[in-house]
Amino acid sequence: MLRSNVFTTINFKPNELAQLIMKEVYLEDGGIYKLRLKNKYGEVTTSCTVSVRQREPSTDQRKMSNEDLPPK
């Protein structure tokens, strides 16, 4: 079960929108996320697939070579 913490926030909006905000993710965080809401009136479920892609190196990182590294 996922709960709100420093890395994730779960919001419920009045217009029936549930929102999951993940501030820091890793490749292994990808997968199927399921949401189940239940109260005295009934139950509803939904799911979504989250894909995490590796970030492309920035232009500055691509220009770096071994010569740019500090000496060991």
Return the higher-pLDDT residue of 15 and 48: 48
pLDDT (average), residues 1-29: 84
Residue pair 20/13 in contact by the 8 Å Cβ criterion: no
Chain centre distance of CA 43: 25
Q: How confident is the model at residue 21 (pLDDT cuts 50, 70, 90)?
A: confident
| 37-60 residue pLDDT tens | 888 999 989 899 999 988 887 766
State the pTM of this model. 0.58
